[in-house]
Structure 1
């Protein structure tokens, strides 16, 4: 019965898509420009995802990526009054677009069934934005269907992961602190200096094109380590684990200093990829796929490694050659609950869009939030990434399709002739519905690790997980953290910091620029004396640019979020 209902739902969705395509048959495709702060690719979407979109809507996606083309492209397009047809920007920037008339009202989304699965979250944001009921401008990114207090995933977003077989090979030592992690990585490097293909390996490989991203000041490679020690970057300020106290970013008692010194300690031992700081994200991604990094710290990064196979086609997970979180005894993790109200970015529609194009864009965004659209985004292509079981659930077919850039089925090859799955993957790189949501087509969450079929297969094949569970006496990373007092989830309240005004608006880029400049210099300091001298120089520079004023502004802004979290906890 479940399979029958799933088929009916799929047919209904496909019929709707066929109707849209039929109306556009024989017509020239319409180009939709997406100004996309999340994109790592600049240009026309290609490959299988381009064909999926063209077949359903007869549109071509032209992605404008400031992370690739340069941040000045924002000013240029804003001055022309046309940022894009679809606009994806940081949540803190979105009110500026509304005020500047760069995005339009999109009240008609209330009639869109798939978007209205997230009705509560969309209304919550827009009421905060406008102070009015029933007026809509923005759609939050990566909303969940859980609750503001749920912690659904089995890992936290930012946590250290080592390759299990290499960790075991050095004796699976207890790692008491970051110095202990440096020692462990140095020992791993002694036995893992190159990949099987002869490529050089390092403890970490870093990149700079995400600096000052996600509404945090400083290099992303540093700001995403601070949560290991219970501190979260809130623009230019560090919020401590107690949820009440803010530290200056350069405070030597803070986790930003600790994270930067950790990376410098690795550098002093020759464990940092020499291309770090000059290479871009795409280069790093390829090095992760090639197995050239021994430490990962984003929860999603294992998608580029753990599903890979060796040269003989043997899954790495069956050999224990996959990454898993390893405890650092003195860590205390800062992790927010599920992003029920969405993450740090917003979707909007450009103010120049109207008429049939406006209707087309709303239909596209509704599909983007639909079960079919989210399956393409979070799972992939039937017949390549997964198969459909008799009961309507999915089973993994090729979980290395992305990392191995496997060829897509012939029906997904478009006019551009691009056949690689990774080459044609969705370059928008931002979702409306989070992957943690339940897929109505299967009644299971989108990530494969939540599928009953995957769990059964994993029990037999994933040597890493079974050994990790036995070694650490826990089901998963979050289970271990909670059992050992290393994690206290913070409620997700959907807070959006106010936009910068007046002097703060000019101070922030100057201070952020100096912070990044000196942080990178400190990472590459030749010894402790040079590191400390650079840190002192950075403090002097930031204070000279009136950092105190920016810090006080940001503390005041995020105190509102702190108070909202306290209220959510009944404090």
Structure 2
């Protein structure tokens, strides 16, 4: 029966693609300006994903990436009255865009988008909160799930310390209780692994500044994300503590201080890549995929290294618990991530039709499979029962050459530069009956039931990362709620920009230039003085007010789920 249903779904998908292809053949090439705060690439999408989009819609994507060209592009294009044909921004910005008349009311088209409207509940909740009206649509939340607001589906969380298993074993697999223990272990790892196989220098940490000030948080992203290791989450400029109270991020009892000092100590010990403060995202990725980084802290980083072969060889990255950590993790983003997709207000006629057709395909099983899995017979094969098996799982990390029939070039070079999805990878793919993310596939679990996984489970007495955290009372799971922070007014925009700039400059200097603890403490005091002089305390009080409704909603959701 499952095979039969899969065949029916596949036939339906193929029939829809015939219709789409016919439209593409009859239409002229259309360039879509895609303003995208999530993108790490600026310019015309190239390679295999460009070919997919062109073949289906005769569209090319011109990615306008604020993370690459600078945040001033947002103000410039807004003043011109044309942010883009398609817009991906943070929720707080999106309400501002709607108020400014830069986003289009898409109510007339979205109701006919069958794939997008599978998430009607979530989309309705967001748009009603935005406009106060039923049936009025401007935005589509990114990365919505088909689970529930209180579910934690993944076996890993967004940020946790991960070490290469072979190197961790080589130094004796020491039990780690504190960050100092982790540093001591990293010193030994650096001694046994000072360079990669090509002889290039390797370091435990290789950081990058491209994402500084993003995701509704001031400061360097590589620092603020690690505060979640101690149950704290930065909301704007305010640190949310495990007891649901706010604290100034620079207070020395807070995790921002703890993590910054930890990275400074790591640098004093020669464990931080000296390029960290200046290298860009592309440089950092190249180092991850070439064995020049010994600590990963984002869950997605393993995609640059953990091939099936490396898991079988025991050289992949795995979560290594540190006893005093208590991890903050968001539950499944049922209502979507912090970003929104909208259509530019000036889009009309055929362009409007084709953009909405593209977005609906982007949310379709076929589109989501391409986004989360890749290309059939290059990234995966189809099993007899309609499920998938991973193929060339090193395509991204090794930038494998894509066959000409799929667009040619390197796989990573042609990867989807939009870098955001409507459908989360933890959703169930109706074409297979399994989740989109390959790590959930039965075939992948069989492939990766390696000696390394058995060793990890035996050593830590757990099936996976989340299982260990739950068993040991080390997980603070925050329920998903629909919440959009109010947009900053012009005064707050200027104040936040100044605070972020000052905080980033000082934090990077604290990490990379302080040679002693005394220098670090003196510079920390200087940073506090400078931040307060620029109005940090005003911004802090403002952000506490902005984010308190979300905290209240999460407390209520957690109580309701019990």
Do they fold alike, i.e. is TM over 0.5? yes
Superposition map of 1:349-364 within 5 A: 349-364=343-358
**d(CA) in 1 for partners of 2:383, 2:132:** 47
Q: Find out whether 1:556 has 2:557 as its counterpart.
A: no
1:338 CA drift (Å): 0.4
**d(CA) in 2 for partners of 1:60, 1:502:** 35
- Name the structure 2 match of 1:311: none
- Name the structure 2 match of 1:12: 12
1:386 CA drift (Å): 0.6
**d(CA) in 1 for partners of 2:115, 2:22:** 21
- Name the structure 1 match of 2:264: 264
Superposition map of 1:116-155 within 5 A: 116-155=117-156
1:235 CA drift (Å): 0.6
Indicate conservation of the 8 Å contact 2:312/2:448, yes or no.
no
Q: Secondary structure of 1:381's match?
A: coil
Indicate conservation of the 8 Å contact 2:24/2:56, yes or no.
no
1:3 CA drift (Å): 2.2
Give 1:333's match in structure 2, choosing from 327, 330, 346: 327
Indicate conservation of the 8 Å contact 2:231/2:476, yes or no.
no
| More displaced stretch, 21-30 vs 129-138 | 21-30
| More displaced stretch, 213-222 vs 445-454 | 445-454
CA-to-partner distance for each residue in 1:341-365, whole Å, 9 max, x for gaps? 0111110000010111111111100
Indicate conservation of the 8 Å contact 2:143/2:423, yes or no.
yes
Indicate conservation of the 8 Å contact 2:35/2:83, yes or no.
yes
1:23 CA drift (Å): 2.9
- Name the structure 2 match of 1:207: 208
Give 1:533's match in structure 2, choosing from 498, 522, 541: 522
Indicate conservation of the 8 Å contact 1:17/1:57, yes or no.
no
Give 2:389's match in structure 1, choosing from 383, 395, 414: 395
CA-to-partner distance for each residue in 1:300-354, whole Å, 9 max, x for gaps? 110111117xxxxxx1111110100000100011111100001111100000101
1:69 CA drift (Å): 1.3
Superposition map of 1:51-200 within 5 A: 51-107=51-107, 108-200=109-201
**d(CA) in 1 for partners of 2:325, 2:239:** 16
1:27 CA drift (Å): 4.3
**d(CA) in 2 for partners of 1:20, 1:483:** 49
Q: Secondary structure of 2:215's match?
A: coil
Count of paired positions = 558
- Name the structure 1 match of 2:426: 436
1:18 CA drift (Å): 2.2
Indicate conservation of the 8 Å contact 1:339/1:494, yes or no.
no
TM-score norm. by structure 2 comes to: 0.98
Q: Secondary structure of 1:488's match?
A: strand
**d(CA) in 1 for partners of 2:273, 2:547:** 35
1:8 CA drift (Å): 2.3
Q: Find out whether 1:221 has 2:222 as its counterpart.
A: yes
| More displaced stretch, 396-405 vs 15-24 | 15-24
Indicate conservation of the 8 Å contact 1:3/1:390, yes or no.
yes
In the alignment, structure 1 segments of 5+ residues that lack a partner are: 309-314
**d(CA) in 2 for partners of 1:482, 1:129:** 36
CA-to-partner distance for each residue in 1:372-426, whole Å, 9 max, x for gaps? 000000001110111001111001121111112222233212xxxx422111111
Superposition map of 1:158-557 within 5 A: 158-242=159-243, 244-307=244-307, 315-413=309-407, 418-459=408-449, 462-524=450-512, 525-557=514-546
In the alignment, structure 2 segments of 5+ residues that lack a partner are: none
Q: Secondary structure of 1:199's match?
A: coil
**d(CA) in 2 for partners of 1:429, 1:150:** 24
CA-to-partner distance for each residue in 1:161-211, whole Å, 9 max, x for gaps? 000110111111111111111111111000000111111100100100100
Q: Secondary structure of 1:258's match?
A: helix
- Name the structure 2 match of 1:312: none
TM-score norm. by structure 1 comes to: 0.96
1:502 CA drift (Å): 4.8
**d(CA) in 1 for partners of 2:23, 2:146:** 33
1:22 CA drift (Å): 1.5
Indicate conservation of the 8 Å contact 1:141/1:344, yes or no.
yes
**d(CA) in 2 for partners of 1:304, 1:366:** 29
**d(CA) in 1 for partners of 2:36, 2:11:** 32
Q: Secondary structure of 2:186's match?
A: helix
Indicate conservation of the 8 Å contact 1:51/1:412, yes or no.
yes
Q: Secondary structure of 1:94's match?
A: helix
**d(CA) in 1 for partners of 2:241, 2:453:** 32
1:33 CA drift (Å): 0.8
| More displaced stretch, 68-77 vs 319-328 | 68-77
1:71 CA drift (Å): 1.3
1:7 CA drift (Å): 2.4
**d(CA) in 1 for partners of 2:30, 2:68:** 24
